[in-house]
A and B are shown apart, each in its own frame.
Chain A
Amino acid sequence: MIAAPPFLIFLVGAPVVLLARGRARRVGLVVLAGLALALTLLLPEGVGWTVRFMEYDLVLLRADRLSLFTGYVFALITFLGVLYAAAFARPWLHLYALLYAGTSLGAVFAGDVVTLLIFWEGMAITSTLLVFEHGGAAVGAGYRYLLFHVLGGALLAGGLALQVVESGSLLLGPVSGSWPSFLTALGAGVNVGFIPLHTWLPDTYPRPHIAASVFLSVYTTKAGVYLLARTSPAVEAIALMGGAMAVYGVVFALAQNDMRKLLSYHIVSQVGYMVAGVGLGTVEGINGGMAHVFNHILYKALLFMAVGAVIHATGQHVMDRLGGLGRRMPVTAVTFWIAALSISGVPGFNGYVSKGMVIAASEDLLPLRVLLEIASFGTFLSFLKLGYFVFLREGDTPGRDPPWPMQSAQVGTAALCVAIGAYPALLFRILPAASAYDPWTPTHLLEAGLVLAGAAATFVTVGRVVLAPHEPRVRDADVAYEAAGRALVRFTQGLARGFAVVYDGFVAAVSQAGRSARRLQTGDLNWNVAGVALGILLVLLWLLWEGAA
């Protein structure tokens, strides 16, 4: 059984495949992703591929239950995402997406801190390139994205470096000590979207190509969750932050008009669940959080695929100009609803299982529990809004189902959501730890049922009016960042002006010294000879003084 690091397949294979053209390239892409998926599924547990670097050992492939679990879902969604993206003839998008997937897998399977950081930065760069690829408004957003992620990378590097110094080992594992934990959590927190470090997510994800959004929705945030699970800072504050994220994301999502922006805020919200689970630090919490990673990747990618199909067909990004697409795009509509029900936690779909796990794990921390339930309520409400205004209501927006690669990707992902929802054992078998959770207990069913019913009732009654799509008037934390940025620019301009004054003053003084020195050359021979006499005087004075000393 070959233990080939999955990232290698992508990093090596991507440029190779892209040398092909046209249909051959698209087929090659899908084959490559399939190959990577197969190899990842067949990876044996254990440590492979260590490389000697200075006096340390770098571990490029550490496959334990946690990393294998994350690796499986990453490889899986890469396959489906590549299938979706193969419908478009955009070679650079394909290249960056594959590299992005490759570096993410590299980060997940990294066994030591150095390898992790290298792949972490690689993820940031490749995802930025993926955003830039689209051009236009995406470039500015990509720049802000890069700034955030470089900051996160630096914080993470700082925390992990402190950890290495204290523990003496490069191996990636639980982080102890207040500063290492704080910095590591913060570094991962940028990726994950801790409030208020989350603004890049809704800023960036809606802007690039629709296929790019599918990839973007997957790796960065979940790699962050994986890292939190791996370094397990088990701090209550992190769990509560997860709860805050869950509610914050949902509140802003409800106000959105742009479909992908709405989905982006939901990423923040759903990742909040994951962070809550992992932050609790208990076995059930981590299990629940990671299970939610798995499911969320599937249904969120599907949501972006479906919404992408709508944008592709209609050319519209915003809900207030859409309607009635349910009949004209049946496959998309069905897959959308499957994903919507999954994210909302409707029993029978995959989201219900993992959401329930996280909520169950939060039993002991009541404030967290409440926040998560509120978020569930808002989530269903928000997706009823999205589904209704785009697909269900009367409207005459023209559209039809997308090309078959995109459709098959959507259907495949939807099938997985349904399969896991109906047979959760499929998921439980690969979870990092054995789980004793039973999703079908009456308590759990009742809980979910109440929340969902409440949301549905709200929508059907007042929701359709109150939540009618329009351009949102709320501003996110971006406002603060913009103001800080402007202040920084003004400050540096002032600093540059200050320096110029100092330097100019100095130069003028020296130049004046030069002018004054010229007066030594009087041109008068008498003064010149007097200079010689002065020389004698000075020299003799020196020597006599020196001689006397």
Chain B
Amino acid sequence: MTVAPFLPILLLAGGAVLAFTVGRAVRRGGDASAATAVVVLGASFVSFLLLGGSSGSTPAYAPAGEVTLRVDGLGIFLGLVGTGLGLAVALYSFAYMRHERERPTYNALLLLLIAGIAGIALAGDLFNLYVFFELMAVASYALVAFHRERAEAVEAGMKYVIISGTGSAIALLGIGFVYLGAGTLDLASLSTSALPRDLALLAAGLLVVGFGVKAAVVPMHTWLPDAHAAAPSGISAMLSGIVIQSGLLAMVRALAIFGVGPSSAFSYGLLLAFLAVLTMTVGNLIAMHQRDIKRLLAYSSIAQMGYILLGLGIGLEYGIAIALVGGLFHILNHALMKGGAFLAAGVLQDTYGTRDLDKLRGAGRRIPAAGLTFALFALGLAGVPPTAGFLSKLFIATGAVQAGGALGVFFVVALIANSVLSLAYYVPALTGLLARNGTRDSPRASWLLTGPVIAFAVLVLLLGVWPDPALRLIEDAARTLLGGAQT
């Protein structure tokens, strides 16, 4: 059945309104709004599946002749990951946020956040891309500062607003230059027309930096540690899991207009790859001395974004498909692993009231559902087989090898060295969490909290040994990016 491309966005935006009103109107409004959110997210996940089924052609939504939305493999991929992760977070937040007062607001904002992600996925031109990007950003500002009675959250939110706002402005400037040079903002026609070279370079630079702020590329990453640590755990999972990746994919979509692979106008792919190496190294180095579990995970996210960016950069520069597949696969895996890790950390924080690793010594052993899954996620993030994290890193490394030459070797060495370096903070965190401690209490955690975490852990292992279903989807997405320029 053919589904209109705007359906997911409509569902999510409408759902946000619905969740808020239901929550305020009904007794036990908090639960009601949470339940609404779950249902809406389930429906939108299904709608993306249906859209994916019908994307043999690339249906477009073009009211009044101007294409605003377009469905392609990359969009389906982002939409599915976004709604899937969102669904798990909504379930998780059902229990996690149960003592909060403003749950209807929370759930509405969550739905708006994902509506923005869906819009980025389906955007057909730069204008809509920017609008939905901003929608996602604004919703996330509010969600980061949700616990506004805490100074930490407010500070994190303020920093996030200002830095992200700067980035958005820069990105908008870049988009403006593109319009100046090409006269159109439609992504499809932009990829075939050529801009004057100087203008193209300037626009590309601004786009990289503007979207790069949201994607936490070094040196624009400074907002991330505070924001991801101070946000409610479900939102941390969303932020690390799909929000920053959406920023990255928005960047990649925007840059693709300058050509992909050997036919690209200039080597922005190589620029991305070098920024990637910088990002992963800085992220891993700073992560080494963190004592706050969520801050540690936040810096780890910066490093993991580096891996993803490396894969995408090499793929776009040389037209190597497997690098792109690796990068996109790592987006999926990272959503599962980092999302799961934040949710597990949230369980520990919820039970013991602290994020300090020294105070949480042995906590993982006492709540095995959180501790053991955290261990699996950490090993997956470090790239240990047979987790899915190993596979996606392997693909990226293979892509780098195929790139060849001294640069290829450099990228592979950087990837491997950083993976090893990341063990330097994962392993001590794990041994601390899983240490034998004197106390015998085994607190119970609600299944709504542990269920999503365990489900993610299972998926991480499953994808590690049987990635085929996911890879089919991802290869589709990679093909969209490469257009005709595959090697």
Contacts and interface: CB of A to CB of B under 8 A. Distances in A.
A536 B170 contact: yes
B421 A510 contact: yes
Interface residues of A, number: 27
Nearest to B197: A547
A364 interface: no
B170 A532 contact: yes
Given A528-B163, A529-B163, A517 B220 contact: no
Interface string B271-299: 10011000000100111110000000000
Tier of interface size on chain B:
35 or more
Contacts of A518: 286, 289
B266 A543 contact: yes
Nearest to A527: B222
Contacts of B421: 510
Q: Is the interface of A mostly helix, strand, loop or mixed?
A: helix
Contacts of A527: 222
A202 B186 CA distance: 93
A496 interface: no
Interface string B54-75: 0000000000000000000000
A535 B287 CA distance: 21
B205 interface: yes
Contact of A535 (B220, B223, B288, B289): B220
Interface string A514-544: 1101101110010111011011101110111
Interface stretch (B211-219, B322-330, B444-452): B211-219
B213 A532 contact: yes
B290 to A, nearest CB: 9
A544 B286 CA distance: 31
Most buried by B among A510, A511, A514, A515: A514
Given A528-B223, A532-B166, A532-B220, A510 B271 contact: no
B5 interface: no
A323 B198 CA distance: 111
A415 to B, nearest CB: 69
B201 A544 contact: yes
Contact of A532 (B163, B204, B274): B163
B209 interface: yes
A513 interface: yes
B232 to A, nearest CB: 22
A517 B163 contact: no
A514 B288 contact: yes
Nearest to A548: B201
A534 B219 contact: yes
Contacts of A511: 288-289, 424
A528 B205 CA distance: 19
A546 interface: yes
B50 to A, nearest CB: 39
Given A511-B288, A521-B222, A543 B204 contact: yes
Given A539-B205, A539-B208, A515 B289 contact: yes
B380 to A, nearest CB: 22
Interface string B144-180: 0000000000000011001100110010000000000
B205 A543 contact: yes
24 contacts: A510-B285, A510-B288, A511-B288, A514-B285, A514-B287, A514-B288, A514-B289, A520-B286, A521-B225, A525-B159, A527-B222, A529-B163, A531-B220, A531-B222, A532-B220, A535-B219, A539-B209, A539-B271, A540-B202, A540-B205, A543-B201, A546-B266, A546-B271, A547-B197
Interface of A: 510-511, 513-515, 517-518, 520-522, 525, 527-529, 531-532, 534-536, 538-540, 542-544, 546-547
